Amino acid sequence: MVYIRQDKLPKLKEYKYQAVDHSLVSRYVLKPFYSNVVIHCFPMSMAPNLITLTGFGFVVANFLTMLWYTPTLDQDCPTWVYLSWAIGLFLYQTFDAVDGSQARRTRQSGPLGELFDHGVDAVNTTLEVLLFSAAMNLGQGWKTVLTLFGSLMTFYVQTWDEYHTHTLTLGIISGPVEGILTLCVVYALTAFLGGGSFWQQPMLQSLGIKQFNFVPDFMYNLAWNEWYIIYGGFVLVFNTLLSIQNVFKARRSRGQKTRIALMGLLTFAAAWVLIPIYLYLQPVILHHHLVPFVFYVGLINAFSVGRMIVSHLTKSRFPRGNVLIFPLAYGVIDSLGPWLQQNASRFVGAEYGRYFGWPSALGNDVYQVAFVFMCLGLAVGVHGSFIVDVIWTICDYLDIWCLTIKYPYVEVKENVQRVEKEEKKEL
């Protein structure tokens, strides 16, 4: 399948990166650290995309230790494991932020860098959901699913915002900055507090706060990880509404209809209507095989986000629909039949209940698990072919290489001064 049409390729040369970062932490702490210290650790011969990929390698290493020590997401790990997660994620954030500076000083800035950066971030989002769930001992259940929903929606809406406004906007509190730093702190605290089981304790009680009469029992007994999910929900709503406001404002300024932009959220909504239904109908997947299913769902989101970025770079129409949702829809239909056979009589009576439902082709055991792994394999194949095709097309058209610098930048005095001025503008 061709993901970039030939008539859209010239738009790649019109690409210009635009971003607005309102984060105070980023402005006064992280960016000076990146520009004055970190960037000098990388040689001029190192390609920006290779820096991004190297940083992602730390997260992959974290994920492998998670699979070894807590594959069910509810077991305490050795102290060093949690510390390695904190260090690995911080290094990923650092490498991910520095690749842009490396691109500017080596004169390798271009559309491929933004696509590569977002593509890696999309996969990292799913891995961090699993790592966070393991650190909090959320286990395989609805809490992990809620965490996945919040993380993927934040990333999807942010990319949707960038497509319509043509600017990457990061708020005062954003996932790439404060969100990642918060996770680093959570991982480090988990190491010093004795493991993920600590977060299962009621927060107010463990802090020594007495229960007042006006505080309901369920609220007083909420665990640390449950409070964190509530906090994440508020941040998600705030950032989503802010992104919608940004999109509406940008489209009004161009004289375009605003409500049409909201249709771009329907693809994400369609997937997340099916996901909880499937997991409810198949508790064996929810409680025993959630990790591969989370990967599958993460790749659904990564594929949608990747196509949005490509459309943004080539100034094409917004991509609607996602072929990876169809296997999920089949799984829901297949699982719904037996459920209707068992429960329809309660709603329409035994006389008519026998006319509802149909037998399942997959069942509820080993074939259902095989189906999930088949969906995961399909998602890896489709998203992988998308990545290869798009990178190959862009590299071929722009005459560049992905992980190495094809035409090295010559450091003359005038060029060095120009790069330094650009970096100062960022600060």
Active centre residues (catalytic): 118
Distance CA 114, CA 52 (A): 11
Q: Residues 6 or more apart from 42 whose CB is under 8 A from it?
A: 51, 98, 102
3-state secondary structure at position 356 = coil
Q: Residues 6 or more apart from 128 whose CB is under 8 A from it?
A: 59, 89, 151, 183
Distance CA 197, CA 251 (A): 48
Token pair listed for 382: 């489709």
Beta strands in 327-408 (DSSP E): none
In angstroms, the Cα distances linking 93 to 58, 347, 355 are 10, 52, 56
H or E element: which one contains 296? Answer: helix 290-314
Token pair listed for 11: 């738009």
Q: What 3 state SS string does 390-413 have?
A: HHHHHHHHHCCCCCCCCCCCCCCH
The residues that bridge with 170 in the sheet, in sequence order, are 21
DSSP annotation of 19 reads E
Greatest alpha-carbon span in the chain: 88
Of 246, 272, 239, nearest to 163 by C-alpha is 246
The residues that bridge with 202 in the sheet, in sequence order, are 223
Q: How many Cβ atoms are within 10 Å of 358's Cβ, its own excluded? A: 12
- What DSSP assignment string belongs to 105-174? HTT--SHHHHHHHHHHHHHHHHHHHHHHHHHTT--SSHHHHHHHHHHHHHHHHHHHHHHHHSSEEE-SS-
Of 69, 88, 85, nearest to 77 by C-alpha is 69
